[in-house]
Amino acid sequence: MEHNLPVNVREYQELAKKALPKMHYDYINGGAEDEYTLRENIAAYGRIMLRPRVLVDVSKIDMSTNLLGYDIPSPIIVAPTGAHKLANPEGEVATARAAAACNTIMHIQVLSFGSSCKIQEVAASCDAIRFFQLYIYKRRDVSATLVRRAESLGFKAIVLTVDTPVLGRREADIRNKMVFPPSPNLEGLMSFNDDLGTGGGSKLERFASETLDPSLSWKDVEWLKSITSLPILLKGVVTAEDARKAVEAGVAGVIVSNHGGRQLDYAPPAIAALEEIPAEQQMHCWNLEHMQQHGGWVAHLPMLIRLLRRWRGPCRCWWTAGSGEAPTCSRRWPSEPRQSWWGGRCSTGWRRAGRPGRST
């Protein structure tokens, strides 16, 4: 059977498509509106060529770095994605176990607010370093309770998603009348009337419009700082202007992201936005001060590009759903990052229309 195992994420995606109900597959796979940004997220990696340097010893490789004071074996973390039980019955508990087991490739999991497992269950399941992803709700007391819970359960940082004051218009979800499983973490905190009447459409969108606060602003970052001592990362920044404001607001870092093309369509792909942000601000997408001092992002970039263009986006879900297994530290995962090491000895050539390539 071994020889029939998928060898790359596209093959897992095909299996996942067969295994999952259409509504769930489309939710994981889809983007907002015309899905231009979703397509660009992938195409943008294809425009970056690697310039391999030969006759360089790659027998000993070290991708380790430090993120918010935690030494990690590689600069790869598990992004927050909601409702893992849509893809696997064990949900986020299995993901956390895999994150802890894969200590050669990823050791940090960012748990989504929309986790289909209780935050307590995930915390008890393994010793991965965990960050908690938060949205700001109209009801600030709910957001504050979630932050306190994350703090008391040993989560190490709050990842505030700032690109979702309103949910992106995900047309596949509207068509499928997407039903998002209620998050057990909101039980007892917030009730939601999911009776759509005759209106139809995505229940997820309706839940978001009833609960998320569209007045979200920099004042809320101040508010969040006032209620927690945990470091705060802002997720969803794609311009140098906002990165600069984030520094001024005193957050620990920004995560350059367009939410996988699921929020504002025609926003730039994250990998292209990275080019803008370091150029103006000389800082890293994760940990501004550390990386600024060490120039870390430049050192890791070619390797990361190679890896990300093949393994980014919703690949965790394809892998889980396509294999029919809970994610583990599979034989497949470690091999690709190791090959990507070689990329660590390359530099990148950014090739863009109408612009000469340059190396970083």
Ligand X SMILES: Cc1cc2nc3c(=O)[nH]c(=O)nc-3n(C[C@H](O)[C@H](O)[C@H](O)COP(=O)(O)O)c2cc1C
- Cα dihedral 288→294→300→301 (10° resolution): 60
Q: Could you tell me the two tokens for 170?
A: 């995900």
Q: Which stretch binds ligand X (CB under 6 A): 99-107, 121-129, 143-151, 255-263?
A: 255-263
Q: Smallest distance, Å, CB 259 to ligand X?
A: 5
Q: Smallest distance, Å, CB 269 to ligand X?
A: 7
Report the residue number, 109 or 133, with the smaller CB distance to ligand X. Answer: 133
Strand 157-161 relative to strand 129-134, pairing? parallel
Selecting among 107, 259, 284, 300, the annotated active-site residue is: 259
Using a 10 angstrom Cβ sphere, with 0-12 exposed, 13-18 middle and 19 or more buried, the burial of residue 231 is middle
Among 9, 48, 72, 79, binds ligand X (CB under 6 A): 79
28 lies in the binding site for ligand X (CB under 6 A): yes
Q: Could you tell me the two tokens for 183?
A: 């998050």
Q: Smallest distance, Å, CB 193 to ligand X?
A: 22
Q: CA quadruple 268, 269, 274, 275: dihedral positive or negative?
A: negative
224 lies in the binding site for ligand X (CB under 6 A): no
Closest CA to 103 of 287, 325, 337: 337
270 lies in the binding site for ligand X (CB under 6 A): yes
Q: Could you tell me the two tokens for 300?
A: 């890791």
* Angstrom distances, CA of residue 274 to CA of 37, 73, 182, 230, 257: 15, 22, 34, 25, 9
How far apart are alpha carbons 326 and 262 in whole angstroms?
A: 25
161 lies in the binding site for ligand X (CB under 6 A): yes
How far apart are alpha carbons 118 and 311 in whole angstroms?
A: 27
Beta pairing partners, 105: none
Report the residue number, 61 or 181, with the smaller CB distance to ligand X. Answer: 181
Among 75, 80, 337, 343, binds ligand X (CB under 6 A): 80
168 lies in the binding site for ligand X (CB under 6 A): no
Does residue 259 carry a catalytic annotation?
yes
Report the residue number, 256 or 346, with the smaller CB distance to ligand X. Answer: 256
Among 235, 290, 300, 306, binds ligand X (CB under 6 A): 235
Q: x/- string (CB under 6 A) for ligand X, residues 307-326?
A: -----xxx--x---------
Q: CA quadruple 275, 277, 279, 284: dihedral positive or negative?
A: negative
Using a 10 angstrom Cβ sphere, with 0-12 exposed, 13-18 middle and 19 or more buried, the burial of residue 211 is middle
Q: Which stretch binds ligand X (CB under 6 A): 76-84, 149-157, 181-189, 322-330?
A: 76-84
- With CB under 6 A as the rule, give the number of residues binding ligand X: 20
In single-letter form, the type of residue at position 182 comes to P
Report the residue number, 204 or 291, with the smaller CB distance to ligand X. Answer: 204
CA 144, 106, 290: angle at the middle one, nearest 5? 70
114 lies in the binding site for ligand X (CB under 6 A): yes
Among 260, 327, 337, 343, binds ligand X (CB under 6 A): 260
Q: Smallest distance, Å, CB 87 to ligand X?
A: 9
What residues are labeled active site? Answer: 259
Binding site for ligand X (CB under 6 A): 28, 79-82, 112, 114, 133, 161, 235, 257-260, 262, 270, 312-314, 317
